[in-house]
Amino acid sequence: MTYSETDELLDLPPKVNDFCMTVSTINGSGSATSNNVLYHALFHMGIPTSGKNIFPSNIKGLPTWFVIRVSEKGYLGRVPYDDIIVAMNPETFLDDLTYLPEGGVIFYADHIRKPEKPRADLIFYPMPIRQLVKQAEVPRNLRDYMENMTYVGIVGQVLGINMESILYALKRHFGNKASALETNLKMVNIGYEWAEKNIIKKDRYFVKQLPPMEDYILTDGNNAGALGSLFGGVEFCSWYPITPASSLAESMNEQNPKLRKDPVTGKNTCVILQVEDELAAAGCAIGAGWAGLRAMTATSGPGLSLMTENVGLAYFTETPVVIWDVQRVGPSTGLPTRTAQGDLTMVYFLGHGDINHILLLPGSVNECFEFGWKALDLAEHYQTPIFVLSDLDLGMNQWITPKFEYPDCPIDRGKILWEADLDRFEGKWGRYKDIDGDGIPYRTVMGNQNPAAAYFTRGTGHNEYGNYSEDPENWAKMIRRIKKKLMNMCEVLPEPIFRNKPGARIGIIGWGSTDPALIEAQDMLEEAGIPVDYLRIRALPTCKAVRDFISEHDHTYVLELNRDGQMCSILKLEVSASYAEKLSSLTDFGGLPMTAIWATEQVLAKEMKRNG
């Protein structure tokens, strides 16, 4: 007996290492492990893969989808359709089917009722999951997990995923827990063997072993940010739980004891403190930064709204602090479990009065690591808050990414004066004096025993010596110097990444997690006869290279995940007026990662209109 629906193979060419598979399950049913195992096994086979969890703001019961994209060409952005569906959730079954193209495949748990008149162009593989689990005599409390492990075996067998790679993935997941490994492996094997005997493959999708991706690792941006910060010598992190930023601090908590024991005393060298709210998260980090610790916090939009007053204090008192914003959809509570790039203008100008900030914009998991340690150096060197804007897609989803590289320069503590340094100033030391002409003053920190070390830090108007001042000229001088200090940073911040195409006259600009979609879109546009140069901005304020890019192209499209084109607006402010009209904004803001198809269609439509 076979479980295939159509007896005839559809007349479609095979697709090898190029498809999108969505596992449709119920939140809280324990499918994360099985999905990660599938995903990791594909990576282990050397196939470029991305895994995205599209989940609700819910703990148990609502639909959730895990999307695995396999692309030999290395395109890792989201696609707006599925080739394969693993259906475990009866609630969404019918709707899930609408995302399948001709020849699409459905693996479904056979306790789910199939539509009476299914599309004839789809291939259905029913899976007797409950029966198999029952036969395996699994303890009741593990049944949900085992149901999920069963589909790993079945899907793996039908697509051609190596058992060896599945085993590798299981081992990585379960580590030393031998009994868990054994139970799960057993269930995968049951599914695999059942499929071998009972499924006649009729679909067009295959995976094939490729050379191993030796220079790559697999992880998420929040873990990378956490590791980058710990390698950056962070000494204090205060935080308050918020999706999608929590896992950054949690990951730090997990790694801290392993990574940050003082080699001299064996004691901890980093404090990670969950506090009462985001006001405290910012305040504690600023207190620590002021006292000479490398300090940070991690939050998302609503948390940043609460941190705003503190950010102004840090800016004006010139206190180093790093603030991660793992963006989600706003305004208000918005869509807490969906992704967006909607905090850019808020963060850039966060605070009241004359204020502006330095933003780092990682576009890959690897950059989350790199910017993790760089942000701490920049904060202390320039004595100002540094923001790192990640997002839910980058922060919480699994990505393949180049191996983390060890910091290529020593830790930069900036212009900090200790007891002996102060003697050089012969008592004329002033906390806010611009001695070097670079706008960066010298600072002392708590614990310095030199009687000339102390000064009084205040968020109110102060002169070069930190004393209270309401003098108009002094105020203007202070606020101008801070601006000068920040503007001096433009050319030392992470430079943009260029990806050029021969003969391109138009440009596209993106930032952050949309990078994979834009790389793919650039190739699609080239195929459509419109070569474009692609520039990815990695920091704000803008540097000369970005302004040159805009001036050198006939027209440039800025693509991003927010309603009003926030990056485009900032660029229009920062390029000369004559170039501002060379910029157009293209925006997508439904809460899902950008797709290359969307980006390509948008640029094509605009270009057709522009060229009449």
Partner 1 sequence: MDNTQTVKVERNLVGLSPVDYKGKPSTLCPGCGHNTIANQIQAALFELGVVPEMVAKISGIGCSSKSPNYFLDRSFGFNGLHGRMPTLATGACFADRRVKIIGISGDGDSASIGMGHFKHVIRRNIPMVYIIENNGVYGLTKGQFSATSDLGLELRHQGRNFLPPLDLCLEALISGAKFVARAFAGDIKQMRELFKAAFVHDGIAVIDVISPCVTFNNQDTAMQSYTWGREHESPIQDITFIPKAKEIIVEDFEEGSYREVKLHDGSTLLLKKINRDYDPTSKTAALDLLTESYEKRYLTTGLFYIEKAEQSIFDIFELGKDPLNRLPTERIRPDKATLERINAALA
Q: Is 135 in the site for partner 1 (CB under 8 A)?
A: no
Q: Considering only residues 437-466, where is the footprint of partner 1 by CB under 8 A?
A: 444-451, 453-460
Q: Is 564 in the site for partner 1 (CB under 8 A)?
A: no
CA-nearest of 450, 457, 455, 456 to 426 is: 450
Instruction: List the alpha helices (DSSP H) in 99-177.
Output: 129-135, 143-159, 163-174
Q: Which is nearer to partner 1, 290 or 579 (CB)?
A: 290
CA-nearest of 581, 493, 497, 571 to 534 is: 497
Q: Is 165 in the site for partner 1 (CB under 8 A)?
A: no
What SS3 class is residue 218? Answer: strand
Phi first, then psi, for residue 366 (nearest 5°) are -60, -40
Q: How far is the CB of 241 from partner 1 (least distance, A)?
A: 15
How many angstroms separate the Cα of 35 from the Cα of each of 21, 126, 454? 11, 19, 56
| Contacts (Cβ under 8 Å, ≥6 apart) of 532 | 501, 504, 506, 507, 508, 522, 525, 526, 557, 603
Q: Which is nearer to partner 1, 2 or 268 (CB)?
A: 268
3-state secondary structure 284-316: HHHHHHHCCCCEEEEECHHHHHHHHHHHHHHHH
C-beta separation of 292 from 265 below 8 A: no
| Selected binder of partner 1 within 107, 205, 290, 442 (CB under 8 A) | 290
| Selected binder of partner 1 within 52, 78, 202, 294 (CB under 8 A) | 294
Number of residues forming the site for partner 1 (CB under 8 A): 74
Sign of CA dihedral 408, 414, 418, 423: positive
Q: How far is the CB of 459 from partner 1 (least distance, A)?
A: 6
Q: Is 423 in the site for partner 1 (CB under 8 A)?
A: no
Q: Is 101 in the site for partner 1 (CB under 8 A)?
A: no
- Write b or e for each residue in 462-493: b if 16 or more Cβ atoms lie within 10 A of its Cβ, otherwise e: bbbebeebeeeebeeebeebbeebbeebbeeb
Q: Is 289 in the site for partner 1 (CB under 8 A)?
A: yes
Q: Which is nearer to partner 1, 282 or 340 (CB)?
A: 282
Q: Which is nearer to partner 1, 456 or 498 (CB)?
A: 456
| Selected binder of partner 1 within 193, 254, 309, 354 (CB under 8 A) | 309
Q: Is-cis flag, bond preceding 496, omega within 30? A: no
Residue 335 per-residue DSSP state: B
Q: Considering only residues 352-381, where is the footprint of partner 1 by CB under 8 A?
A: none
Q: Is 411 in the site for partner 1 (CB under 8 A)?
A: yes
Q: Which listed range, 107-115, 398-406, 499-507, 587-595, lies at the site for partner 1 (CB under 8 A)?
A: 398-406
Q: Is 268 in the site for partner 1 (CB under 8 A)?
A: yes
Q: Is 238 in the site for partner 1 (CB under 8 A)?
A: yes
Q: Is 604 in the site for partner 1 (CB under 8 A)?
A: no
What SS3 class is residue 386? Answer: strand
The token duo for 461 is 């108007």
Q: Is 236 in the site for partner 1 (CB under 8 A)?
A: yes
Beta strands in 300-378 (DSSP E): 321-327, 358-360
Q: Is 578 in the site for partner 1 (CB under 8 A)?
A: no
Q: How far is the CB of 328 from partner 1 (least distance, A)?
A: 24
C-beta separation of 430 from 466 below 8 A: yes
Q: How far is the CB of 574 from partner 1 (least distance, A)?
A: 30
Angle between helix 544-552 and helix 566-574 axes, rounded to 10 deg: 90
Q: How far is the CB of 169 from partner 1 (least distance, A)?
A: 12
Q: Is 310 in the site for partner 1 (CB under 8 A)?
A: yes
Q: Is 292 in the site for partner 1 (CB under 8 A)?
A: yes
| Selected binder of partner 1 within 117, 267, 352, 424 (CB under 8 A) | 267
CA distance 314 to 282: 9
Q: Considering only residues 168-207, where is the footprint of partner 1 by CB under 8 A?
A: 172
CA distance 189 to 164: 11
What SS3 class is residue 34? Answer: helix
| Selected binder of partner 1 within 51, 77, 104, 283 (CB under 8 A) | 283
Q: How far is the CB of 256 from partner 1 (least distance, A)?
A: 10
CA distance 484 to 378: 15
| Selected binder of partner 1 within 91, 102, 121, 277 (CB under 8 A) | 277
Q: Which is nearer to partner 1, 60 or 258 (CB)?
A: 258
The token duo for 598 is 């969307």
Q: How far is the CB of 422 from partner 1 (least distance, A)?
A: 12
Q: How far is the CB of 472 from partner 1 (least distance, A)?
A: 20
Q: How far is the CB of 243 from partner 1 (least distance, A)?
A: 22
Q: Which is nearer to partner 1, 90 or 407 (CB)?
A: 407
| Selected binder of partner 1 within 232, 244, 512, 516 (CB under 8 A) | 232
